[in-house]
Structure 1
Amino acid sequence: MRALDHKLMRDLWRIRGQAGAIALVVAVGVSLLVMMSGMLQSLRETRIQYYESYRLAEIFAPVTRAPTPMVERVADIAGVAAAEGRIRGAALLDMPGQALPVRAAALSLPRSMVPRLNNLYLKDGRLLAPGHMDEVVVLESFATAHDLALGDHLTATMQGSRRDFQIVGFAASPEFLFTTAPGEFVPDDARFAVLWMHEEALAAAFDVQGAVNEVLIALEREANANDVLAKVDRLLDRYGGQGAYLRKDSMSDRFISEEIAGLSATSVVVPPIFLGVAAFLLYIVITRLVQAEREQIGLIKAFGYTDFEVALHYFKLVIIIAVIGAALGCALGLWGGRLMAGVYQSVYHFPFLVFRVEPSSFVTGIITSVFAASAGGILVLRGVFRLTPAVAMRPPAPMDFSRTGALNNRLRRWLDQPTRMVLRRILRNPGRIGGAVLGIAVGMGLSSAQMSLMSGFDDTLDLTFGVIDRSDVAVTFFEPMPAKTAFNMAHLPGVLEVEPVRSVSAVMRNGRQSYRGSVTGLVEEARLNRAVRKDMSDITMPTKGIVLARALADTLDIGPGETLRVEVLNGRRPTIDVQVAEVAETLLGAPAYMRFEGLNAALGEVGRVSAVYLRVDASKMDALYAALKDMPTVAGVTQREDARAAMQKLMDTGAGAMRYVMAAIAGIITFGIVYNAARIAFGEQSRDLASLRVMGFTRGETSYVLLGELVVVVLLAVPLGVGIGYYLSFLIAAGFSTDLYQIPTGFRPDAFGAAGVAVLLATVVSGALVRRDIDKVDLVETLKTRE
């Protein structure tokens, strides 16, 4: 082994603590990149494979009642590869121990039990037996939420009639990766069920014998989806067609698409921030390491080694540290990704989910780490290489403080000698101290931004269910009800206040741009279900026109004053043109609002009510639920607290769970920065500290000289870290925000205070570790010149 390689091994062992801390900073940045990119790739591929394996339809065409032969006519449309009809109905389930009924979708299975499209993944039990019309297969996620077992019985209300069913199987379906009750925004496995039944039994329950009320369509590979949609709508219009829509517009696929889009945005925005911070910190650390090696560099050059050989020696040092960190990061990323894959599989109900990482993610992490380390070495070695060996072997000349005598005299009067030594060292090395301050500030900024993000998630919940939705119970109806419904609701047990809402499903179009969603009509000065902006100010419902959320307006490429075409998919399915009155920044979803009276007038249905929001006396909740159960027009009842719990689960799983991982990583980086600063300062001053001990300074005074500098650096870094964290929080929040929800950002004293306390704790721990090394210093060995 060459002499320089021997020195390299000794140097790595000598600075093993610093090298380990640097490698850990690199590792956490690389692990985040590997984990998020791998998770994103795995989700995308798993969804594609699941959809293809179980033949999820590409077009859904709901219809009031279409004769069965019409399915063959749909199949004959150019571009259609396959078509299948089915019956779909709504039901209410009475679950033991629950006062509220649970909404359910009932779907028919053909006699063969193997649908051509939207096939089932049977997880337990069996499919329906021929002739047993009282058997059902239940969505497995709902069964798990209610601890249902094979052989259990369910009581369901369909079309006003109560029926008893026996559970014979549990199944999953690519159609129901997320389960959301009609009219609700947040998915909840416990509050929405799916039942698969015999086609004959369901046809009898909903009086659609010889007909279907939904057509599922698969497209040929080169088919034009929009052309097929138009032809299907024309064909089914006479049978009460409600507007065919693509798979991407179904609620389940929309949710999983939003989750993937959110994870994609997060993986684009957040890992580069962490890797950038790690690269910057690596540069600072390597710079100070090489500066500390100045005398050794001069000695090596004096022995005849060329600049290239010296450079290669130090590049080996930094590259070994960077590669070790990157390799550790790749391993941690794989381990963390597999753990996250289990979380995603349970949340999204995939039957399989294999975590796989593209080789490019590993290559990116390693190249970034090596580049950052190399850049730091080049910048500092460039200055050292200009020196002759004789000059390089001498310590750098100290700054001239001869004109600060008056200041020194004043300091001598008020400060003791160790404190003056700390201040002189800081003043004589402003660049190095500035780098340390900036490094710790960036680490604290990263931590505070993550804590601010976590507070933002909590604020979204509080604002949604404390400011926007201030009702106790929401009641939805199977169909629009007359105006007197709200009056009747006010006389139910315990009801203190009633607020009606009109909502219609619609396709909104602006030229070639379209969006399938809903238009909600709110009463003037709504109190229980408000429309608010991001700053929590009320959105005033215009007398005429429509208010669009910014996300929806951007999708439709439309602004205030322009005309929006709204194709209503309910009832008589009118098409109305309405002027955009305002585009508002909202927190949740992509809503479209109109005034209650204005929407009904545009539809030609004065006073119709789709749902009501109720404020209720808590002591009479049970009596209210009993009354609502006996109302056949009620499609569902939702408690605000249940909706809040469901949204909390949504934000704490999937892409939202990444914020906890990144908060932990930010904490590790912060500790690594502070510890590195302390270790490097100790390495630079070890001979000086040993000299102080020889001159009679106590161990405590010697430690004070070193750690006092660290304390000053940290105190200077904290306010700077607050500013960095404030601006980082906006960037990271933008990465986590989706069309489903926006994460509010701003100055959060609790988040920044917690990050500051974390930095101070890291300082205390790092100081204690370094103080232990100071006490163990061998004075004679340290004062010797290192070869």
Structure 2
Amino acid sequence: MVRRLKPLHAKLTRDLWRIKGQALAIMLVIGIGVALQVMMTGLVASLSQTRDAYYERHQFAQVFAPVSRAPEHVAGQLHDIPGVATVQTRISGMGLIDIPTREIPVSARILSLPTHELRHLNEIRLTAGRRPDSGKSAEIVLLDSFAAAHSIVPGDQIEVTLNGSRRTFDVVGTAQSPEFIYYAAPGEMIPDDARFGVIWIGRPALAAALDLEGAFNEALITLLRGAVVDAVLDDVDRVLEPYGSPGAYGLADHPSDRFISEEIAGLEISAKNVPPIFMLVAAFLLYIVTSRTIQSEREEIGLMKAFGYTDTEVSGHYVQLVVIIALSGALFGCLLGVGLGRMTIPLYTTYYKLPFLLFRLEFSSFVTGILTSVFVATLGGAFALRRVFRLTPAEAMRPAAPPDFSKAGNVGSHVMTFLDQPTRMVVRRLVRQPWRMMGAVAGIAAGMALSLSMLIIYEGFDTVLDRTFNVIDRSDATVSFVTNAPVKTIFELERLPGVTLAEPVRNVAVVLRNGRRSHSGAVTGLAPQSQLFRALDSNAAPIPLPTRGIVLSTPLADILDVGIGDRITVDIREGSQMVVSTRVAGIAQSLIGSPAFMDIDALNSLMGEPLRVSGAYLSIYDGEQDAIYTALKGMPMVAGVSLRREAEQAFQEVMNQGAGSSRFIMGFMAFAITFGIIYNVARVAQDERARDLASLRVMGFYKSETAFVLLGELGAVTLVALPLGVLLGNGLTTLIAAGFSTDLYQIPVVYAPKAYGTAIAVVVGAALASGWLVWRDLGRSDITLALKTRE
């Protein structure tokens, strides 16, 4: 057996060198599929394991229960709830930080720290300095990323407007917290280190500033193993309802955890769905290469069988060819995946504030990637290997019977008379071998579909940016108030010099329910004819807000599984805390978040609080911004100011430098695969017609005419593949867009002409490049060797 295999090994080496171009193209496709799996699986492990360890070490709470004001003794009632392990109360508030280098005030979340040194829930992780001295009310710890964004270090002082009064605080330390892995300013969903900060201060000092001595306005709770979260939440709400509770929520609804968990879930879905696409393309290419190799080596197969090699040994030889290509591609993909994973990690640490994040190698992803690639590649080659078993030595050593084209008909006989001889040869091959041509068309169309889908995704990201910050939100600034203010505050803002328009907004925390489906969020009350912030339909036309009913965004309607005319339950979690039923009056298109809208007067009436607002949208004359921002800094009721242009820039950075940047990696891979597929098709056609092309040269055809016979076929196949690639790309885009969409943003499928034009240009460019490489090889080919035959 060993003696017999040695010649086959030598033949295997020669075969691999002869088809090195096709082999490299297939290895590229397999490698990209494995690389994506290794990268995405490693990122999932890195993010989830680091997050879980961070939560455990710093005792991150599992239930959060905000209230307006509750006496301290209520904590004992919370502790008695079945399933509760630990209860810790704290004080939370909002303030404005005056940064001298910024024209507008910066919003800040202010949290109390226990006076004792014992471990506590949501424990901070000091990155510099020390904790505040319990006896010094002016000492604070600042969020590390915010301090770095403004070059603030321990020992500096900052001015903070807290509860309407401005105070000077000493920064004694900077810290990170598991509560703020992902964070954004109130009312926003995009993180920006420079525009939102967190301050930790001793509890006695914050209690005195907010008039909460002997009371708390938030409870942190951990649960016993096996506790039912929903049951605990119901019991917590029952205990805290008399104290103005907007409703307790679990870890899954915490903003920071929700966003990072959504990112991990999206990566898991992509790791399962994307690599198989590349594997199937690789299997198709291997089938073409293996079947062509077997067809061209009939005589060699007959000789091997005549010399005593069994069907198993001969098939094993070709299986080795397939496995070597697949294994080489898989190993290359493993290395590429590790490299891409390590390159991607810094992109995640930009927006997910973890104490550390190292790319973790998942052994299972290597095993899965290698085994899957070998299995799929072998499966593709197995269909071609069936021919080996059907060939007897005598039959194999005879030349193959000429193809029977009698059933092809005399297609286009009148047209053929007007064509020159090389063009007729191209047309005849296309007509007489339709299945082989359709295989090439399918391969090129698959490559184009990958490229087109990523280009459409690019357009989708741009659409999210433009529609959100130029069509839906047309304001210059958004002002939020410390508490719900009277509507006359809007008129005061409108009277500021430079303000052209001020529109009210009311945000109310609610839980929307439809049967067993529910969503914790907020209802946004807008002016009936709002101009600065609008609810739009699918055609980007404004939706008139009815005096009765609610308008849901498309993602929210999908979550609740409702349509126009259906009724939902609105559980109001502030003020009167009523539970009402209302009708869905419209569906609005929203590409960021899952908002719900109502007429502001109708919402206030529902709350029993007429003429109240929680913020305003402002339109400002150019050149008057600085004066407006200075005036807003001095208003005690202002809790924060957000500029639309800064929010747009932050979102752009999230998409281009954060998690959304993975689309560029996938796009590059799609373009590489497109070239690999087209090059493979061209080389297979060249090898199949090597003898025909050599005969034409001997008969006196010029090199250009000979090349036209081959490249004309490639051009025709490419042109036929373009419309099919468009259809496949449209379908594939829907799947990829769903994978990219998260709670943070939804990626629409935008069929922009630019995307189609670019995708066509990519395919045509790849065909031209592949054609040039084949044309170059034609000039180097040995005509005498190509004409040799064993007949």
Which residue of 1 is the match for residue 92 of structure 2?
A: 88
The code of the aligned residue for 1:107 comes to L
* In structure 1, C-alpha distance between the alignment counterparts of 2:756 and 2:410, rounded to whole Å: 40
Pair 168,304 (structure 1): closer, same or farther in 2 beyond 3 Å: same
Give the CA deviation at 1:711. 2.0
| Residue of structure 2 equivalent to 1:397 | 402
Aligned equivalent of 1:57: 61
Cα pair distance change 1:695/1:580, threshold 3 Å: closer
2:51 to 47, 50, 54: 47
Corresponding residue for residue 145 of structure 1:
149
Q: Distance in 2 between matches of 1:729 and 1:11?
A: 38
Counterpart code for 1:753: G
> 2: CA distance between counterparts of 1:62 and 1:27?
50
Residue in structure 2 matched with residue 195 of structure 1 by the alignment: 199
Cα gap change, 1:280/1:357 in structure 2, threshold over 3 Å: closer, same or farther? Answer: farther
Residue 641 of structure 1 and its aligned partner are, at CA, apart by 0.8
Q: CA deviation at 1:469?
A: 0.8
What aligned pairs does 1:295-310 form with structure 2 within 5 A after superposition?
295-310=299-314
Per-residue CA deviations over 1:43-81 (Å, capped at 9, x if unaligned) read 222222211111111111222333334334433433221
SS of structure 1 residue aligned to 2:623: helix
Alignment of 1:452 with 2:484, yes or no, is: no
Output the CA distance in 2 between the equivalents of 1:631 and 1:462: 32
Q: Distance in 2 between matches of 1:585 and 1:139?
A: 35
The CA deviation string for residues 400-457 of structure 1, in whole angstroms up to 9 with x for no partner, is: 3699789668645542x33333333333322222211110111011101111111101
Distance change (3 Å), C-alpha of 1:273 and 1:527: farther
Q: String of CA shifts for 1:145-172, please: whole Å, max 9, x gaps.
A: 2233333321111112211223222211
Residue in 2 that maps onto 1:231: 235
Distance 1:42 1:406 in 2: 61
Are 1:68 and 1:211, in contact at CA under 8 Å, matched by a contact in 2? yes
Distance of 1:36 and 1:293 partners within structure 2: 41
Residues 780 and 180 of structure 1, relative CA distance in 2, 3 Å threshold: same
Q: Is the 8 A contact 1:289 1:680 kept in 2?
A: no
What is the alpha-carbon distance in structure 2 between the residues aligned to residue 91 and residue 294 of structure 1? 82
Give, in whole Å, the separation in 2 of the partners of 1:77 and 1:425: 80
- Tell me, in whole angstroms, the C-alpha distance in 2 between the residues paired with 1:87 and 1:62: 9
Separation of aligned partners in 2, 1:271 and 1:145: 38
Distance 1:515 1:113 in 2: 38
Q: Does the Cα contact within 8 Å between 1:57 and 1:117 map onto a contact in 2?
A: yes
Query: Percent same amino acid at aligned positions?
Result: 52
Residue of structure 1 aligned with 2:366, choices 355, 362, 366: 362
| TM superposition shift of 1:735 | 1.7
Partner-residue secondary structure (3-state), 1:123: strand
Give the TM-score taking structure 2 as reference length: 0.94
In 2, Cα distance between equivalents of 1:409 and 1:507:
73
Which position in structure 1 is the counterpart of 2:440?
436
Q: Provide TM-score, normalisation by structure 1.
A: 0.94
Q: Is this contact kept in 1: 2:448–2:722, CA < 8 A? A: yes
Contact 2:285–2:680 (Cα < 8 Å) also in 1? no
Alignment of 1:345-744 (within 5 A): 345-383=349-387, 385-392=389-396, 393-400=398-405, 411=416, 413-415=418-420, 417-556=421-560, 561=565, 563-583=567-587, 586-744=590-748
Classify 1:733/1:512 alpha carbon distance in 2 versus 1 (closer, same or farther; 3 Å).
closer
How far does residue 740 in structure 1 lie from its aligned partner after superposition?
2.9
Aligned residues of 2:311 and 2:388 also touching (Cα < 8 A): no
| Amino acid of the structure 1 residue aligned with 2:144 | E
Equivalent AA in structure 2 for residue 325 of structure 1: G
The aligned counterpart of 1:778 is 782
- Please state whether the residue corresponding to 1:347 is helix, strand or coil: coil
The one-letter code of the counterpart of 2:724 is L
Pick aligned residue for 2:115 from 105, 111, 114: 111
**How many Å separate the matches in 2 of 1:687 and 1:581?**
71
Aligned to 1:183, which of 182, 187, 193? 187
Residues 1:269 and 2:273 are matched in the alignment: yes
How many residues of Structure 1 are paired with residues of Structure 2 in the alignment? 786
Specify the SS of the correspondent of 1:308: helix
Residue 672 of structure 1 aligns to which amino acid in structure 2?
A: G
User: Could you say what secondary structure the match of 1:56 adopts?
Assistant: coil
Closer/same/farther in 2, CA of residues 468 and 786 from structure 1, 3 Å limit: farther
Q: Specify the alignment match of 1:286 in structure 2.
A: 290
- Give structure 1 stretches of 5+ with no counterpart: none
| 8 Å Cα contact 2:543/2:586 also seen in 1 | no
| 2:173 aligned residue (169, 181, 186) | 169
Structure 1 counterpart of 2:102: 98
1:567-620 CA-to-partner distances (Å, cap 9, x unmatched) read 323334344333333455543322222221111111111121112112221121
Paired position in structure 2 for 1:74: 78
Letter in 2 for 1:486: I
Output aligned runs, 1:112-131, within 5 Å. 112-113=116-117, 115-131=119-135
| Worse-superposed segment, 61-70 or 195-204 | 61-70
Contact 2:279 2:376 (C-alpha < 8 Å) held by counterparts: no
1:228-268 Cα offsets, whole Å, 9 max, x none, are 32333333334433322212222212222222233333334
1:342 counterpart = 2:346: yes
Q: Partner letter of residue 192 of structure 1? A: F
2:225 aligned with 1:221: yes
For 1:614 and 1:79, how far apart are their aligned partners in 2?
A: 47
The two structures, once aligned, show a CA RMSD in angstroms of: 2.5
Rate the CA distance shift 1:334–1:122 in 2: closer, same or farther, 3 A: same
Q: Deviation per CA, 1:265-293, whole angstroms, max 9, x where unpaired?
A: 33343333333333333333433333333
**2: CA distance, partners of 1:590 / 1:402:** 60
2:159 equivalent in structure 1: 155
SS in 2 for 1:772: helix
SS of residue paired to 1:348: coil
1:764 is matched with 768
CA offset at residue 561 of structure 1?
A: 4.9
Q: CA–CA distance in 2 between the matches of 1:659 and 1:431? A: 35
Question: 1:5 pairs with 9, 16, 23, which one?
Answer: 9
Letter in 2 for 1:594: M
Using the alignment, how far apart are the partners of 2:61 and 2:240 within structure 1? Answer: 17
* 1:713 maps to amino acid: V
Verify: 1:22 aligned to 2:53, yes or no. no
Contact 1:38 1:355 in 2 (8 A): yes
**How has the CA–CA distance of structure 1 residues 755 and 309 changed in structure 2, closer, same or farther, with 3 Å as cutoff?**
same
Contact 1:284/1:439 (CA < 8 Å) preserved in 2? no
Q: CA deviation at 1:629?
A: 1.6
